[in-house]
Amino acid sequence: MNDKLTLVMSYVQSGSVFAPLIFITFHLLRQFLFIPVIVVCMSGGVLFGAAFGTIYSVIGLTLSSMAFYFVIGKFPKTKDRLLRLKNKLFWKPKAEQPANCSTEANTIHSLLLAVALLIGIQ
């Protein structure tokens, strides 16, 4: 496994035209290899520089998130389980919330959702 990873990284470092595509594809496969997002993003900065590494990482994370949402739509039972988990962790019935904090709760929920989408939590 390390030999293959070393081969891919050396190919990316060689400055090939396909290096950004390989890096973005690596972002798509990252979750199946159980590699943390920060490791791949930092390696993009090392390989391509801060600006291009950030751009390629954002593209890869966006495509990864889009692929997840497309696939999860094909598995309704898994989607229902994830929604129940989300409701259990982040949602409280209206009877438990004071009347004056409903907008605050909506704001917090929206911020959590935006953060989850931005960092690619799956």
23-62: per-residue pLDDT in tens? 999 898 888 888 889 989 998 998 888 999 999 999 999 9
Asked if residue 54 and residue 14 are part of one domain, the reply reads yes
Asked if residue 99 and residue 45 are part of one domain, the reply reads no
Asked if residue 69 and residue 80 are part of one domain, the reply reads no
Asked if residue 80 and residue 98 are part of one domain, the reply reads yes
| Final residue in a domain of this structure, among 35, 50, 74 | 74
Asked if residue 82 and residue 70 are part of one domain, the reply reads no
Asked if residue 115 and residue 87 are part of one domain, the reply reads yes
Which residues make Cβ contacts (< 8 Å) with residue 108, sequence separation at least 6?
Answer: none
Asked if residue 84 and residue 55 are part of one domain, the reply reads no
Distance CA 33, CA 8 (A): 14
| Final residue in a domain of this structure, among 55, 74, 93 | 74
Domain membership of residue 19 as a residue range: 1-74
Distance CA 25, CA 19 (A): 10
| Final residue in a domain of this structure, among 74, 90, 111 | 74
The reported pTM is: 0.58
Domain count, the chain: 2
Distance CA 41, CA 48 (A): 10
Asked if residue 27 and residue 50 are part of one domain, the reply reads yes
Write out pLDDT tens, residues 70-116.
888 888 888 888 888 888 888 765 555 555 555 555 666 666 666 66
